A and B are shown apart, each in its own frame.
Chain A
Amino acid sequence: MADEITLEVARYRPELESEPVMQSYQVPLREHWAVLDGLSYIKDHLDGTLSFRWSCRMGVCGSCGMTVNGEPQLSCATFLTDYAPGPVRVEPLRNFPVIRDLVIDIDDFMTKLPKVKPWLVREVHSPVEEGEYLQTPEELDEYKQFSMCINCMLCYSACPVYSLEPEFIGPAAIALAQRYNLDSRDEGAEERREILSSPEGIWACTFVGECSAACPKGVDPAGAIQRYKLTAATQSIKDLLMPRSRR
């Protein structure tokens, strides 16, 4: 195995460039090094001006999403040896404005996420003294998969609908809405319905399926969206037939 690998990293310094340029760096090729370790090596030893986001280094925080050889990946969970002999092309996540080098502007996602109320909505909260809201293992299984989302936005980067229609609420936000809709303790489905059933919600999705393929945590946002389409359609028919039953 060669002892070095080339990282071709997208640089965008707004004070210097009007569009990103690629810069090559030679980094050690170590068996347990992820792309993120390569970038940290550059930052520490070769070029301190390189900017990128990271935090936990263990696939939990969702900060280090990047485009590695054209694919949206968590750079902490993408190993250099898998790309040997290289070069490895590292670019910012697609479909987002680039602030600097590999750092993207996540404001759009941060604005959209709270709109689906991704938290437990209760009409009346039980007093703390009454203890937890209990749940069976089967009830947990209903939503557990969707609760694995770490807001890394790889799904947005993979979604062609999001790139064509930036108003689209997007895969992760809808999957997280379903995470709470399917939770037996939650009572907020009706409150989430308006935003989810809007043209910018589920109906913008045409089931490309790349969001689910890109997800590093095995969440299936495409499935969540299709499932909610069926729920929304059934609900609309119910409303039409029984207009008084709506809460």
Chain B
Amino acid sequence: MSTYQRPLALFWWLERRSYLLFVLRELSCVFVAWFVVYLLLLVNAISDGATSYEDFLDWSGQWWVVAINVIAMLFILLHAITWFGLAPRAMVIRLRGRRLPPTQVVAAHYLAWLVLSAIVAWLVLR
């Protein structure tokens, strides 16, 4: 039986907003990895002493490092927001026999994010 298989267009991911979002979210993992590397470099610089830490700060202040970090943060935000958005679809939580509304599951995630950010901010700024 000879069948016809439609070839995948090169820009198939531009056909729909959801496809574009999907590809961007896949791409966001590169930036998640970048933040891990950046954090390790920071920890390494701190462990090497004050001069090394100052050098790291100078390096981080360069325009292109700042630019990478800003782009990385935007991708991390996309990653986190879409992740939180799917949480109520994955988590079916019952309280006293009734299913917790999806908005409350999402709200709990944002609340946890806020609390953790506040703790980190307190640790860094105190």
Which A residues are closer than 8 A to B by beta carbons? 12, 14, 18-20, 70, 94, 97-99, 105, 138, 160, 163-164, 206-210, 213, 220, 222-223, 226-227, 229-230
Which B residues are closer than 8 A to A by beta carbons? 1-6, 8, 12-13, 15-16, 18-19, 21-22, 25-26, 82, 86, 89-92, 97
List A contacts of B16 (CB < 8 A): 210
Contact among A97, A210, A222, A223 with B4 in the assembled complex (CB-CB below 8 Å): A97
Contact among B3, B90, B92 with A97 in the assembled complex (CB-CB below 8 Å): B3
Q: What residue in chain A is nearest B94 (Cβ atoms)? A: A138
| Complex Cα gap A3–B13 (Å) | 37
Taking a contact as CB atoms under 8 Å apart, the answer to whether A163 and B8 are in contact is yes
| Complex Cα gap A95–B19 (Å) | 15
Given contacts A207-B86, A226-B86, contact A19 B4 (CB under 8 A): yes
List A contacts of B1 (CB < 8 A): 99, 105
| Complex Cα gap A105–B6 (Å) | 13
List B contacts of A19 (CB < 8 A): 4
Chain A nearest CB from B9 CB (Å) reads: 10
Taking a contact as CB atoms under 8 Å apart, the answer to whether A160 and B22 are in contact is yes
Taking a contact as CB atoms under 8 Å apart, the answer to whether A223 and B3 are in contact is no
List B contacts of A230 (CB < 8 A): 90-91
List B contacts of A138 (CB < 8 A): 97
Taking a contact as CB atoms under 8 Å apart, the answer to whether B86 and A14 are in contact is no
Which of A20, A138, A207, A226 lies at the interface centre, i.e. has the most chain B CB atoms within 10 A of its CB?
A207
What are 13 contact pairs spanning A and B, CB under 8 A? Answer: A14-B3, A97-B4, A97-B5, A99-B3, A138-B97, A160-B12, A160-B13, A163-B8, A207-B22, A207-B86, A209-B18, A226-B89, A227-B90
Q: What residue in chain A is nearest B90 (Cβ atoms)? A: A226
Given contacts A208-B18, A209-B18, A213-B18, contact A222 B2 (CB under 8 A): no
Taking a contact as CB atoms under 8 Å apart, the answer to whether A98 and B6 are in contact is yes
